[in-house]
Every structure is written in structure tokens, then in C-alpha cells.
Amino acid sequence: MKDRLCSYYTNSKDITEYMVSKLAVADNDIILEPSAGEGIFIDEILETNKSVQIDALDINRDAISILKKKYEHNSAVVVRETDTLLDEQLDFYSVSQLWLKQTDTLFDKQLDVFGSLGGHYTKVIANPPYGAWQDYEKREMLKKKFSGHYVKETYSLFLLRCISVLRMNGRLSFIIPDTYLFLNMHSRLRELIFTNTKIDEILIFPSKFFPGVSFGYSNLSIITLARSDKKSALENTFKVIQGFNSSSEFAALLGEGKNYPNNLQIFKFRQRDILENEQCRVILAESKMSTLLSKTSHKLGDVADVVTGFYTGDNLRFIRASSKDVKGAKNYEVVDPATVIHCTSIYGIPDVEEGYVPYIKSASKRRYVRQNDEWFVRWDKPTIDFYNKNKKSRFQNSSFYFKTGIGIPMVKSRTVRAFLMADHVFDQSIVGIFPKDDSKLYYLLALMNSDTINDLIHAINPTANNSSNYIKQLPYIEPCAAILKDITRMVEKVISFELNADYENADRLHGEINTIVGQIYLRQN
């Protein structure tokens, strides 16, 4: 269940049992649940029949009300309604079994004290909020408190916060989106984790394991770790496990005699090695792909400018389709052919009241080239002035508009289809790749259409987004001059076949190019 604060309450018995088991709850444990919700983890902990103290915190008043009612007959339960993140009295908690308090965990001053003293809790367990909206004032406070970290994603801040209040060797188990493992914005978080904790195990699984939850952009993960000194952390080896068909398979991972289902993929990492990777990224790929990403010194960004395109600020007003049959054109007007004018100036079409130029705003149906212009963007001089002045418009990377380069869609598909761009404006939904040396254009086009690069793209960022920041980090390997010349000649032929709708020969020759690119890259291992 999801609440208005973007909390997904953990209502899977398999998940709660696995996470509590990973904590290894013992007598006299002091346990923190920083986003208590409905108390599902608390219930599971209490079933262990261990003598423990639990601090249950939540900012949501409705959640606190549920907890109060749930434990109203438990004399050991103390409930206080307060802003936990800012609360100054958390230090004066009782030794009762449960401590319930409405609070903002990210700002709670008592947790600050616990962190400064080298930790307080022996165990922490949580399903923190994902992507909760923060007003401007709170976001500024978070920036100050968690300087250098990405503050728009709350789950990562909860993880930072809770690691800081763990005692040495204390254990933590969190269920969070898996994006902290590879997104650039979380590189500092990864560095902190790999130098201050020993990861035990990370499970990656579809979000649909939670009834009613489905993320299109990522999977969910359960990370279990222990607070550690740096030396022990660097030498620690941990497992990442994925490929689960159902949450019931988690039970096989517990106990001494682990019996892993055959469908699971198991990756092992030493934390020191991850710190040596680009952005400290955890790469879940077979060893050849992993080696290419971590050991190849030259990147695509070294040989090409990789940029995102233009946004009008009001697409329905300024963009036209060639016909209503164009995919996604239902709400758009059809362009008047008389207003389509050849122009390659970023300053706009002169001497016209209304004029349009071809616009690339969607993926190509085929590799290498685009067949027809389906979209057009208004480009007369008055409208260009509007784009430059309008706060919603993004006249970004304009020096690359109309230039010859390569386009790939921002939204990831199973197979990336790269295509030539020339004399076009391209949308922010397109990543443009512009070689610094024009002679490399066709080789880069071959690379971006290869299975090898496709696999690398999915390994470096498994989310649904082909951001330019990730594309520019792809490994770049250039063959000898003779092979480079051969690939260039073959790509020229493919383009000719595509333009003449000779798709059989185009696909045949693409297969040959694909094999050569694979050999170039795999020879590096």
C-alpha cells in the first residue's frame, strides 16, 4: 500500500520474514524502525520473543494513529506525537519495549546525537519512502544537512541517516529501489557504503512482488549490511542476487544449508574493487561486459559530444505532425506543408509569420537512418525569441541543432536503434552523439547499433532511461585503420540499402558489422 508521502508499506510476509531473519535479532538489541508505517516489521520482530527495545518513528500522523491503536493494550508502548526529525527530546526515551513517535527521521536531533557518539542502535530495519515530494524550504534544509548528496530521493537519505546511528557491527536491512547501485547521482552514497559498512547480501527483484506496486524505471532491492571500519569494509566480499520469480524464493537464502533456485543469478564483488570502478558503480553483467565497463580507459565522451536536445515549453502549441496516423499524434495538429521551410539556423526562419522545420522527437523504426519526417517544430524568428525568453523552454545544446550526428531515443527499449541526424532539430527525448572527428561518424553509428554496445548500455544503467550522462561513459575501443575503413564502407552500403528499402541486404550486412564490432570489443578481455 502507498500513502501520500510516497511510502510503500511492506505487506509481503515473505519479505518481512527474510529481512527480520537477516537482522539476527538477539536479546537486549536496541532496534530502530525509522519509517514504521503500520508496524509490520515491529510485529515480525516481536514474534522472535527476544527481549528488545524498538524505537518506531514516523512523520505520518495517520500512521502514528494506527500504531497507537495497534499497541494500545501493550503497557510497554510509549506513544508521542512530535516531529521526530526535529525533536529534541528523543534522547529522553524510556526503556520500554516500544517507543512510538511522529517525527521527521531525516532531521531528528536525537539521531544526530546518536550518530556523533558512534551509533546507538544495534539493528535497523525499514522500508523508507521513495521519491517523497519535499517543499522548497525542507529541500534546502536537506541540502545543508546532507551536503554533497542527492536530496530529491528520500530513500537514499534514510539509508545515510540510519547507517550513521548504527553501532559498530550493528546490522541494517532496507528495502529500497535498486537505483542506488548504479545511478550517477548516488555515487557518493555508494562510496560511503563501501568504506563504512560490510554488505552481506543484496537481493534484486521486481517491484510487482508488492501487491499494487509496479515501477517502470527500476526494480526493488533488499540490502543487508553491518557497520564496519574502513579496512574490513574494503576487504569484504558480498553477493548480489537477482532473477527471482516470486518472493517465496527468499526463504531458500536463509539458514546454514542454502539451496539457491536454479533461476537465480549470483554476482560476487569485493568492495575495494567497486570503489575502483567509474562512479563506484555496481555492474551486474557477465565478466566480459563488467571488465569492459570498469577497465576500458577511453570513453565515448572522449571522442564525441553527447547531448540532449530541445524542449519547446508547450509541445501542443509549437509541434505539428505530418498526419494523424503518426504514433502519438492524437492531440497534435497536422502541419500545413506550405509552412515547412528549409532552414538550418538556430536563429530561426527569417521573413515569415509562421514556419516549421523537421523535428526528431521519437525513435526510428529502423537502424541507421530515418525514413520520413513525421514531426515538425515551429521555427520562425518570433517563436525563437519566445523559446529563449520562456522559462519552461529548454534551448539547450543549440550549437548541435541541424548538425550531422547520431540519435538514439532517451527512453530505453530492448534493442537500441541508432540513426543518422542531419539538418534537423532534435527533441529532449533524443540523445545526440556528435563525433569530434567526422571520419569516426560511421564507426560510431555501427557501434551504437551493435549488440555489444546495447548490452553495455543496459549494464551501465538498467533503468528505462538512456541519459546522455550514461551514454558518454560507454567504453570506446577503436580498431586499426584498415578495419575502421572497412566498417565505414560497410555502413555506407547499409545506409544505401535502408534508403532503398532493401531491408534483407541491410539486415544481412548489419549482422556482419555487428560481428566485427563484437570481435573488436571482446578481444580487449
The pLDDT tens digits of the residues spanning 192-213 come to 999 999 999 999 998 888 765 5
Confidence of residue 355 (pLDDT cuts 50, 70, 90): very high
Please state the pTM of the whole predicted model.
Answer: 0.73
The pLDDT assigned to 80 comes to: 46
Q: Is the Cβ–Cβ distance between 228 and 193 less than 8 Å?
A: no
Cα separations (Å) of 442 from 43, 419, 447?
61, 10, 9
Whether the pLDDT of residue 17 is over 50: the answer is: yes
> For the residues 174-185, what does the mean pLDDT come to?
89
Predicted confidence at residue 356, as pLDDT, reads 98
Side-by-side strand order, sheet with 304-308? 304-308, 430-435, 405-409, 419-421
Q: Name the average pLDDT for the chain.
A: 85
The SS3 assignment for 51 reads coil
- Alpha-carbon gap, residue 274 to 294, rounded angstroms: 9
Burial of 98 (0-12, 13-18, 19+ CB in 10 A): buried
Residue whose C-alpha is closest to residue 209's, from 253, 179, 244, 259: 244
149 close to 160: Cβ distance less than 8 angstroms = yes
Contact indicator for 350, 364 with CB cutoff of 8 Å? no
In this structure, of 261-270, 318-327, 378-387, 497-506, the range with the lowest mean pLDDT score is 261-270
Residue 3 pLDDT > 80, yes or no?
Answer: no
What local confidence, expressed as pLDDT, does residue 9 receive? 53
What's the mean pLDDT in 86-94? 37
| Lowest-pLDDT range of 9-13, 185-189, 431-435 | 9-13
* Residue carrying the nine cell digits 566480459: 288
**Is residue 409 pLDDT above 70, yes or no?**
yes
Domain residue ranges of the chain, discontinuous segments joined by +: 13-284, 302-522
pLDDT confidence band for 314 (50 / 70 / 90)? very high
Which helix (DSSP H) or strand (DSSP E) does residue 518 occupy? helix 503-522
Q: What CATH class has 13-284?
A: alpha beta
Instruction: Evaluate if residue 485 carries a pLDDT over 90.
Output: yes
| pLDDT at residue 461 in the model | 82
Task: Give the DSSP H or E segment for 226.
Answer: strand 220-227
Q: Which helix (H) or strand (E) holds 233?
A: helix 230-235
List, in order, residues 6 or more apart from 480 with CB less than 8 Å away: none
Question: Does pLDDT of 293 surpass 60?
Answer: yes
Query: Quick check: 411 pLDDT over 90?
Result: no
pLDDT band at 342 (very low <50, low <70, confident <90, very high): very high
The C-alpha R_g of the chain, in whole angstroms, comes to 27
Section 258-278 average pLDDT: 88
Q: What is the mean pLDDT of residues 301-330?
A: 96
Say yes or no to pLDDT of 5 above 60: no
At 294 the pLDDT is 79
Q: Is residue 100 pLDDT above 90, yes or no?
A: no
Instruction: Quickly state the pLDDT bin for 89 (edges 50, 70, 90).
Output: very low
Q: Cα 459 from chain centroid?
A: 12
**Cα 94 from Cα 100, distance rounded (Å):** 11
For residue 108, pLDDT beyond 70? no
